[in-house]
Homo-oligomer: A and B are copies of this chain.
Amino acid sequence: MENLVHDYIKNNNFDRPTLIMSLENLETNYNGFKAGMPSCHVHYAVKANPHPEILSKLHSLGSKFDAASAGEIDMCLTAGASPSNISFGNTVKRPQDIKYAYSKGIKLFAVDSIEEVEKVAEHAPGSQVFVRVLVRSTEAEWPLSRKFGCSSSMVPQVMEAARDAGLEVAGLSFHVGSQTRHPHMWLDTLDFVESIWNYSKEQGFDLWLLNAGGGFPSYYGVDITDSVEYCETLNKEIYDRFAGLKYLMIEPGRGMVANLGSIASEVLLVSTKTPGDPVRWLYLNIGRFSGLAETEKEAIKYRFFIPGKDADEKIEYIIAGPTCDSADVLYEEHKVLLSENLKCGDKIIIDNTGAYTTTYSTVAFNGFPPLEVIVI
């Protein structure tokens, strides 16, 4: 696939930054999860890339879906998904969206607080909920904030509130953090969640669902464990821990779609700030506000390929986007080595950009249009 997409970019011209996707890898990716975790339920994290062709193909492969909003629920239904195969995993839901989801037949919701339990009980009575727990800092490349989940000491109160409100307490969910490169990096988190699982069962909650979330990595130049081996190891570690587990769900986003595509970009300017400075500034026609939002804090370190110039001598570049926003800098600390001969007009391939690029793009910041998408 990589060659197919790269070749397409090499052989065509693009008037503006464009994500080129081939869906060839999608089946391989989906089957990789199922091969390593045969009994798991894959709920694709729609937010990673809600392109209709991705959703339709995943549906045809047997995938289920996790939606973050009513908008995403509609996309899944349009793709043919059955409501029973859609979870509403956002712990912060609009009451109207809960009501809407319930009216469509969706019965599985995430909660992490008593107020959210009350909202779900009111607008989706009798539904199943899993409680998201806040996990300790992990070894993910992009550890999550404290935004989602409640502390372990809060879990009993949330479960009791759910039970008292007539909801079915199905289980727990957590997120190990984005881009967790190897399965052993999950172990501390699994131990921690296991202790909450066991405690909850002791308290009389007959848990049967574990949502292990996402965190499955894509390759950005630093070693990752191969998908099947990754999932096999993780699967064993999970089943060794969670007694009574009947529904293991995972929510891959990046791990499912990042490698479907690359962005065709272009050099706008190469400059030096001070005479004699060996470091050059490289300005692209795409930046943090037109699709590369995940370069915030230089978290995701995309790889760049320059057709015809990858064999050149390399020098160090600071990379920035095209807007008049001074925060629109992609990499300044992270050292990026590229051809010493870069100049305005050169084509640049930004690899593995199928996840978290299209919908993150701003509507028109600085008058630039959003990221274009072509499926080949």
Contact = CB atoms under 8 A, between A and B. Distances in A.
Contact of A366 (B359, B364, B365): B359
Contact of A362 (B144, B329, B361): B361
Given A146-B273, A269-B92, A270-B115, A367 B153 contact: no
Contacts of A94: 268, 285, 322
Nearest to A269: B92
A181 interface: no
A151 interface: yes
A94 B366 CA distance: 13
Given A68-B324, A359-B362, A367 B47 contact: yes
Interface string A66-89: 011111111100000000000001
A344 B115 contact: yes
A113 B272 contact: yes
In the complex this chain forms, how many copies of it are found? 2
Contacts of A293: 289, 362
Contacts of A269: 91-93, 113, 115-116, 119
Contact of A274 (B151, B274, B359): B151
Q: Tell me whether chain A's interface is mostly helix, strand or loop, or mixed.
A: loop
Contacts of A218: none
A368 interface: yes
B47 A366 contact: yes
A145 interface: yes
A150 interface: yes
Interface of A: 45-47, 50, 67-75, 89-95, 112-116, 119, 134, 144-151, 153-154, 157, 175, 268-275, 281, 283, 285, 289, 293, 296, 320, 322-329, 332, 343-345, 358-370
16 contacts: A47-B325, A68-B366, A92-B320, A113-B271, A115-B270, A115-B343, A144-B326, A145-B332, A148-B326, A154-B272, A157-B275, A296-B296, A359-B363, A360-B362, A362-B363, A363-B370
